Structure 1
Amino acid sequence: MSATVHKGGAPYYYVPGPSRHPMMAAFGLFFVILGAGQWVNGVNWGPYAVAFGLVWWLVVLKQWFGEAIRESESGLYSDRIDLSFRWSMAWFIFSEVMFFASFFGALYWARVHSVPALGNFENALLWPDFKAIWPSMQAGATASPAGTVEPFKIMGPWPIPTINTALLLTSGVTLTIAHHALRENLRGRCITFMWATVILGTVFLGVQGYEYYHAYVDLNLKLTSGIYGSTFFMLTGFHGMHVFVGMLMLLFITLRLQKGHFTPERHFGLEGAAWYWHFVDVVWLGLYIVVYWM
């Protein structure tokens, strides 16, 4: 049941009425996961299920977020709601930290334990030509003795990953400038630097798309290229997905700024998106060092 709104101010803690949005969003995600599972197994209708689920999910999110924006702009959100948003975003980012920690952990375990274990005496009798060396540590150690993995070249740090690192670090600077501009009530400057951040994020995704093309065509580095290929694409691919989500957050915040939303005193929408974007930057720095340099 919704909280009573007193004339002249926001309720102590606004509680919206029952909503259909969570159930409808879950319905769309069901088709995304179902279709993705069938797609990777070669089922023809898999891609169509993914597309249907994504479109459904995006339409629901547009309606859901639009409703939340209207509630915010109508003055229903008090300081208590603002505090709840901050805690919610902090825990969400913590869950993302653990998500990426699992992939970094998988990479560590493969490099330090699994691959060396495959080079022990017993396995040497079975696969005498196997090189128990991580591909980035020795050239030519990328082929499978049994022929299940084709030879491939690794992705080095120069030039594509380094260019993307510069793009993301620059975007963090432009976003910080935009945030400080809004706090100083310089809305025009804030919008300019927000658009710069969105453009930098979009360029990053374009460069990463080219990186994947280069990996598949020129390096023969694929998702099927053993544990190196799978960890490389899982880590960089999921990070790219997070960049895409963060870029959408910043885009919608920028559009809201152009409509006059947010004030120097109340603008957690921008702050929350900025937290997420800086988190994505930090994860990329870890990727850049561990995946491309080591």
Structure 2
Amino acid sequence: MANAHADTHHDKNVYYVPHGSRWPVFASVALFVTMIGFATWLNEVSWGKTVFFVGLAGLLAILFKWFGDVIRESLSGFYNKQVDTSFRMGMVWFIFSEVMFFAAFFGALFYARQFALPWLNGEGDGMATHALLWPDFAGGWPSNGPSDIGGNYQTVPAWGLPLLNTLILLTSGVTVTIAHHALKEGKRGILLLFLGLTVLLGCLFLFFQAEEYVHAYKELNLTLGSGIYGSTFFMLTGFHGAHVTLGTLMLAIIWLRCLKGHFSKDDHFAFEAVAWYWHFVDVVWLGLFLFVYVL
């Protein structure tokens, strides 16, 4: 997306196209290594954890350099209105892909609750399925499967840390919106204050989610191996936590850029893109709170 050795001069009437960028290839390799490490770590392979963190460190270093190139190109005035439109379209499609990503996991949750478990219980048209696959199965949602496999567990109460985290994320959506309006009005002090509060709220959310995970594993016996409930719970909340982590990092970077005087009232798409992403993360959490914790 960007070339570290971009020309120092560019005609703004011409759509800027960087050439010879190596970052997409490097990022793809780092992502591949990271996911190989993550998959092997989940399967308790001895070297999986090390490979995961090596790949993650490489990916962060690559993104640092890549984004630095993009920032330098933007500050050099290479991007005209047409390039800005392309960035906006790209961000819209990226968020759409994230919507479909979470839709797959929500779909797995709904399928298990509304179809798979009733069939295994012999409800409706599932008598034959019940008799053929698991005649001894009797249970509802949340299901832990056979006790000798996943073990008995307790669910996380919705009105404890999950409710607190919901309030934290909703508040962060308000603070980032206030920061955006401050930027458009040229009020840099208010911008830095409320954007900084948004970063702190993101960190606070992650802290409480880590506390929740420790509580679930140590005291509730709720793990990834706790049947279909445990797997869908940790996949949905875990991937959302990863998105909050990414969003918090992006907000922190935008805060540093604002501190250095980047962005103007009319030219600040990087801020808008991160704000869009953060609001998306908030909306996903509301769905998680309702369908995972409450219902």
Normalized against structure 1, the TM-score is what?
Answer: 0.92
Deviations 1:204-253 (CA, angstroms, capped at 9, x unpaired):
00000001111111111111000000000000000000001111111100
- Partner letter of residue 79 of structure 1? K
Tell me how many residue pairs correspond in the alignment: 286
Find the aligned partners of 1:272 and 1:126 in 2 and give their Cα distance: 49
Q: Distance in 2 between matches of 1:162 and 1:146?
A: 29
Tell me by how many angstroms 1:4 deviates.
Answer: 9.9
Q: Is the 8 A contact 2:120 2:134 kept in 1?
A: no
Rounded Cα–Cα distance in structure 2 between residues aligned with 1:179 and 1:146 = 51
Cα distance between partner residues in 1 of 2:68 and 2:27:
14
Counterpart among 78, 102, 105 of residue 104 in structure 2? 102
Matched AA of 2:291: V
8 Å contact from structure 1 (residues 167, 200) kept in 2: yes
Query: For residues 63 and 4 of structure 1, do their structure 2 counterparts lie closer, same or farther at Cα, with a shift above 3 Å needed?
Result: closer
Offset at 1:147? 2.1
Distance in 2 separating the partners of 1:244 and 1:165: 16
| More off after superposition, 31-40 vs 265-274 | 31-40
Deviation at residue 40 of structure 1 after TM alignment: 2.1
d(CA) in 1 for partners of 2:157, 2:147: 26
Picking from 41, 47, 50, the partner of 1:48 is 50
Show CA shifts across 1:73-126 (max 9, x none).
011111111111100000000000001111111100000000111111453687
Match in the other structure for 2:217? 216
Q: C-alpha distance in 2, partners of 1:96/1:178?
A: 24
Unaligned stretches of 5+ in structure 2? none
State the shift of 1:128 in Å. Answer: 5.8
Q: Is the 8 Å Cα contact of residues 172 and 202 (structure 2) preserved in structure 1?
A: yes
Pair 74,248 (structure 1): closer, same or farther in 2 beyond 3 Å: same
Residue of structure 1 equivalent to 2:21: 19
* 8 Å contact from structure 2 (residues 202, 244) kept in 1: yes
* 1:118 alignment partner, SS class: helix
Matched, 1:134 2:134: no
Equivalent of residue 32 in structure 2, options 12, 30, 33:
30
The equivalent of 1:67 in structure 2 is 69
How far apart in 2 are the matches of 1:11 and 1:118? 64
In the alignment, the residues of structure 2 paired with residue 20 and residue 126 of structure 1 have an alpha-carbon distance, to the nearest angstrom, of 52
Rate the CA distance shift 1:126–1:98 in 2: closer, same or farther, 3 A.
closer
Q: CA deviation at 1:24?
A: 0.9
Report the 3-state secondary structure (helix = DSSP H, G, I; strand = E; otherwise coil) of the residue aligned with 1:99.
Answer: helix
Task: Tell whether the 8 Å contact from 1:129 to 1:145 is kept in structure 2 after alignment.
Answer: no
User: Any idea what the Cα deviations from partners look like across 1:35-58, whole Å, max 9, x if unmatched?
Assistant: 222222222111111111111111
CA RMSD of aligned residues (A): 1.9
How many angstroms does 1:11 deviate by? Answer: 3.9
Residue in 1 that maps onto 2:191: 190
Determine the C-alpha separation between the residues in 2 that align with 1:251 and 1:44: 34
Matches within 5 A, 1:114-263: 114-120=116-122, 121-122=127-128, 123=130, 130-135=137-142, 142-145=143-146, 147-263=148-264
3-state secondary structure, aligned to 1:42: coil
Structure 2 length as normaliser, TM-score? 0.92
Query: 2:112 is matched by which residue type in structure 1?
Result: A
Identity score, percent: 53
